[in-house]
Amino acid sequence: MNTKSAATTERRKLSIGILSRGPSLYSTRRLVEAGRERGHTMRVINPLRCYMNIAAHRPEIHYRGEKLDEFDAIIPRIGASITFYGTAVLRQFEMMGVFPVNESVAITRSRDKLRSLQLLSRRGVGLPVTGFAHSPDDVRDMIGMVGGAPVVIKLLEGTQGIGVVLAETPKAAESVIEAFMGLKANILVQEFIEEAGGADVRCFVVGDRVIAAMKRQAADGEFRSNLHRGGQAMVIKLTPEERATAVRAAKVMGLNVAGVDILRSNHGPVIIEVNSSPGLEGIEAATGHNVAGVIMKFIEKKARPHNTRTKGKG
Ligand code: ADP
């Protein structure tokens, strides 16, 4: 028997749950398909329909009248709007010993842009110079601190490029910041990486490797390259430094699967975001890679009871 078929016969058949509210979403469908192709039992679970028994030493999860105790692994695909409940459900699975592809603690961390940047900066990962202030009295000084206009102003709660504004002059920067502060919105102010030319690089990290990467180029007259904002995706070759930066960023955040967004700056690759539920559609279409299949192989290697860093303690 050759080694390949030996590996196939020996592969453990796993029961894998996907925590997702959208069974028909591309990413969810692809994960189901890739798992079934590899012989696993796949089931999509709506996290908002899970209810929990938190009695001492017997963590349980119930779902539409049934006790869920069959899973070897869970793939969390928890939308930003349900982070609180979704991560509580995931934590309960972790306490039951189920292997989470990304741990609840890491997801919670990555959902807070400011906390993420603080964690990354502490570990020396390249970032755009970034400021954060509370009082309008400190705005002028903070703009100077990040290098002066032009600056990018970001709402901490924004996603998909909404709430990301480019202020080209000091006056514009001050008025936008004051307006956001007046609305009690939390914002961060960042050096504008003009030399990125409206492009960013999405690195898809699984385990300790970048398994696919694409460049996203903003539409004409736009600096935000989000595909939802009309950006175009294309394949690119990463430099070794970009690869290392992306892997390190995912590691610092404690994420096994991550979409790490990088800008190419004059001072090397800088991280703008680490996403814990990166979409599969854009990256699979742009690169032709079977990203869902790689995630399955990672699960096959890692799924063992209680194989987490925090065991839901975080
Ligand atoms: P979101 O999480 O809403 O997508 P991002 O911080 O990723 O917000 O910003 C959206 C887009 O704006 C990025 O993909 C990038 O193209 C552009 N961008 C963000 N920060 C900067 C910056 N400091 N300099 C230049 N362009 C930026």
Tell me what pLDDT residue 1 has: 44
Q: Is the CB of 224 under 6 A from ligand 1?
A: yes
- Rounded to 10 degrees, the C-alpha dihedral 24/26/27/29 comes to 50
Integer CA distances (angstroms), 52 to 55, 86, 101, 291, 308, in order: 9, 12, 20, 32, 20
pLDDT tens for each residue of 81-135 = 999 999 999 999 999 999 999 999 999 999 998 999 999 999 999 999 999 988 8
Q: Is the CB of 72 under 6 A from ligand 1?
A: no
Question: For the domain that residue 178 is a member of, what is the CATH number?
Answer: 3.30.1490.20
Question: For the domain that residue 88 is a member of, what is the CATH number?
Answer: 3.40.50.20
Instruction: For residues 157 and 238, state if they share a domain.
Output: no
Count of structural domains within the chain: 3
Structural domain that includes position 146: 130-192
Report how far apart the first and last C-alpha atoms of the chain are (Å, whole number).
Answer: 46
Q: Is the CB of 161 under 6 A from ligand 1?
A: yes
Q: Which residues lie across from 73 on neighbouring strands?
A: 16, 99
243, two tokens: 């690869």
Q: Is residue 310 part of a domain?
A: no
Q: Is residue 278 part of a domain?
A: yes
Tell me what pLDDT residue 310 has: 67
Tell me what pLDDT residue 224 has: 92
Ligand 1 atom nearest 199 alpha carbon: 16
Q: Is residue 282 part of a domain?
A: yes
> What rounded mean pLDDT belongs to the chain?
92
Instruction: For residues 232 and 290, state if they share a domain.
Output: yes
The answer for residues whose C-beta is within 8 angstroms of residue 43's C-beta and 6 or more apart is: 15, 16, 17, 18, 71
Q: Is the CB of 116 under 6 A from ligand 1?
A: no
Instruction: For residues 60 and 209, state if they share a domain.
Output: no
Q: Among 111, 226, 266, name the best residue to mutate to test ligand 1's pocket (greatest count of ligand atoms within 8 A of Cβ).
A: 226
Instruction: State pTM to two decimals.
Output: 0.92
- Going by alpha carbons, the residue nearest to atom 2 of ligand 1 is 159
Ligand 1 atom nearest 198 alpha carbon: 16
| HSE of 22, CA atoms in CB hemisphere, 13 A | 11
Are the C-beta atoms of 311 and 305 separated by less than 8 Å? no
- Going by alpha carbons, the residue nearest to atom 6 of ligand 1 is 272
User: What's the alpha-carbon Rg for the chain, to the nearest Å?
Assistant: 21
Instruction: For residues 52 and 119, state if they share a domain.
Output: no
CA distance 213 to 238: 7
Running DSSP on this structure, what letter comes out for residue 231?
Answer: -
pLDDT tens for each residue of 132-172 = 988 888 889 999 999 999 999 998 876 677 789 999 999 99
- Going by alpha carbons, the residue nearest to atom 5 of ligand 1 is 161
**Which residues in the chain come in under a pLDDT of 50?**
1-2
